[in-house]
Amino acid sequence: MKEALCVLCLVLLLSVIEAAVTKPNSANFIECLRHRTSQENPITDAIFTADNTTTFLSTYLSYTKNKRYSNPNYKKLLAIVTAKHVSHVQATVVCAKYNGIQLRTRSGGHDLEGLSYRSSIPFVILDMHNLRSINVDVSSKKAWVQSGATLGELYVKINEASQTLAFPAGVCPTVGAGGHISGGGYGNLMRKYGLTVDHVVDAQLVDVNGKLLNRATMGEDLFWAIRGGGGGSFGVILSWKINLVEVPKILTVFRVNKTLEQGGTDVLYKWQLVSTKFPEDLFMRAWPQVVNGTKRSERTIAVVFYAQFLGPADKLMATMSQRLPELGLRREDCHEMNWLDTTLFWADYPAGTPKSVLLDRPTNPGFFKSKSDYVKKPIPKEGLEKLWRKMLKFNNIVWMQFNPYGGVMDRIPANATAFPHRKGNMFKVQYSTVWPDANATETSLSLMKELYEVAEPYVSSNPREAFFNYRDIDIGSNPSGETNVDEAKIYGSKYFLGNLERLMEVKAKFDPENFFKNEQSIPPAPVM
C-alpha cells in the first residue's frame, strides 16, 4: 500500500514538474531570469510585466511603430525584457524555452506587421533598444554595431569618425540595425555597393541554447542564413561587424515633382527604361503619390523623383540631360552636400537641420499597411494609368515607391547571401497607405489589396516575389504557435526564392525543435 502511494506521489510530483515546464508561467520565467543573471549585471530593472500597467504599456509602445498593434494583449504578453547586457539576452532565450513561452525579439520596432512584438499565444518580448553600442575603426574601414542601434545613430557615428566613409543601408533613421541588416536592408547606395548583407563580415548571435556565437563558432551555413534570411528564425542577433564603403566629400541630391498634368506618366515610363542603366553612382527613386490638384477638392498623382549622385552637380546634370531630358532637371534643383547631410535630405528634414536629429527616437506611430513587388519589365502606360485610378480611390495618404536595380545588384549571385532578389529585376515597388484612426482600418486594408491586384499583371510571377523586410501577412502565414511547412513554403518562396530550401536545412541544424518561430518564420526541413 505504501509502495503504491509512493508511486502515486511520484507520478503526481512528475506531472506537477512537467506542467511547470510546459505550461507558460510568468512567475517561473522571471525567477529563472534572476537565477541566470549575475549581480554584476542585474536584470531586475530590465523586466516589465503587466502588474505595473503604466510602465508596461509605455515600454511596449515606445518601439511599436504601427498603431494597428498599439494595444498589447495582456493575457498573452507575459513580460517585456529590455536587455542591457548579453547575459540578459542569453537568460531570456533559455528561460523562455524552458518555460514553454514563445519569444519575440525586436530592435527598432519597424516590423511592418508587428510580428516582433505580438503573438496570439503566451509570449515575451526581448527588446534590444538598450544594446546600441557602435564602434567604428577608420583604419580597417569596419564597424561593430549592436542590434538596438538605429540607422541614424550609425550614420552619425560613422560621420564623426570619417568624412568619406558610409554604410549602404536605408533612408529611415529610426530603423533598428538588427532587423534591417538581417533582412537585406537597402538604400540609395544599392546600385553602387549593394545591400547591408553584402557588407557583413561577422556577427554575434545567441542561439537556441543561450550560447553566444560568432562567425567562426556558428559556421558558414548559419552565417549565410542570417544575411538576408532574417535573424529571427535562427537566434537573436546581438551585433554585426560591417565593412564601410567609400563616398566622395561632395554628393548631389535633387527632388523634382511631375504631376499627371505635367506629363508625369510619360516621364515615369521613360524612367523605367533608363534608371537601371544609369551610372552606378546615380540612384533615382520614383515615388508616385496622391496629392491635391490645382483646383479645390481636386486630387491628382504626382510622381516625385528623388535622386542621389556620388559626385558634383555639373556631372549629374550632364548625365540627366543625356539620359532623361524629359524630367527637365535644372541646376537650381540640384544640391551639393556631404554624405551625412544627404541622410537628412532623404529623411525629409529641411536644409540646415542639425545632425543630432538623427539620434532621436520618436514614439509617434501611425496606422499603416505596406506591400511589395519586383518588376522585371516596364509597366506600360495603360498599366500605370490603371494604378493611378485605383490610388485616387483612397481617402487617405497612399503612395508607391519604385526603387531602381541595376549596377552591382546585377553582378551579385542570387545565392551569395540568403537575400535572393538580384539580377533580372528592374525595380522594387513598395506600396504604402497611412490613415488617421482605427475607423478607417478596414477600408484602407481592402483598398490596398485592390491596388495590389491591379498591379499583378505587371510584376513578377510564379512566384510573385516579395521583400522580406516589407513584411506582408497577406502573402501567406502560419498561426502564432505553429509552423506548417507547406504554408511556410508559400510565403517563403516569395521572400527567398531558390534559397528557401537551404534556409530550411540550416534551421533544422541549428533550431530543430523550432523554438524561434513567428507567423512567417522559416521552418526546419522535414526529416526524411
pLDDT one-digit tens code per residue, 333-377: 999 999 999 999 999 999 899 999 999 998 777 899 999 999 999
DSSP output for 101-148: -EEEEESSS--TT-TTS--SSSEEEEE-TT---EEEETTTTEEEEETT
Angle of helix 485-496 versus helix 500-510 axis, rounded to 10: 120
Residues in the chain: 528
Average pLDDT value for residue range 175-191? 98
User: Residue 489 pLDDT more than 60?
Assistant: yes
Q: Is the CATH number 3.30.465.10 carried by domain 134-246?
A: yes
The whole-number pLDDT of residue 528 equals: 60
Phi, psi of 221 (to 5 degrees): -65, -50
Q: How sure is the predictor about 13, in pLDDT bands with cuts at 50, 70 and 90? A: very low
pLDDT at 52: 78
> If phi over 0 gives left and psi between -120 and 50 gives alpha, with beta otherwise, what is residue 424?
left
Report, as an integer, the average pLDDT of 514-521: 97
Q: Could you say which of 60, 306, 470, 491 is catalytic?
A: 470
HEC readout, 235-265: CEEEEEEEECEECCCCEEEEEEEEEHHHCHH
Q: At 82, which amino acid appears? A: T
Distance, in Å, from the CA atom of 293 to the CA atom of 300, rounded to the nearest integer, reads 5
Instruction: Give start-end residues of each CATH 3.40.462.20 domain in the chain.
Output: 251-337+362-456
pLDDT at 24 > cutoff 80: no
User: What's the whole-model pTM score?
Assistant: 0.94
pLDDT of residue 10: 41
Question: Boundaries of CATH 3.30.43.10 in the chain?
Answer: 26-127
Q: How much is the pLDDT for 420?
A: 98
- Residue 9 — very low, low, confident or very high, per pLDDT cuts 50/70/90? very low
14: cell is 512528475
C-alpha to C-alpha distances, 84 to 40, 46, 87, 88, 473, nearest whole angstrom: 12, 7, 8, 7, 31
| DSSP H or E segment with residue 5 | helix 2-22
pLDDT over 90 at 3, yes or no: no
Give the 3-state secondary structure of residue 471: coil
Tell me the three cell numbers of residue 385: 494609368
Mean pLDDT along residues 481-495: 95
Domain with CATH 3.30.465.10 in the chain: 134-246
CA dist., res. 505 & res. 229, Å (int): 12
The fold for domain 26-127 equals 3.30.43
The answer as to CATH 3.30.470.10 being correct for domain 251-337+362-456 is no
pLDDT at 4 over 60: no
Task: List b or e across 275-307, with b for residues whose CB sees 16 or more CB atoms inside 10 angstroms.
Answer: bbebbbbbbbbbbbbbeeeeeeeeebbbbbbbb
Q: What is the pLDDT of residue 51?
A: 83
Assess whether 470 carries a catalytic annotation.
Answer: yes
Pairing of strands 47-48, 142-146: unpaired
Contact predicate 29/92, CB 8 Å: no
d(CA 470, CA 338): 29
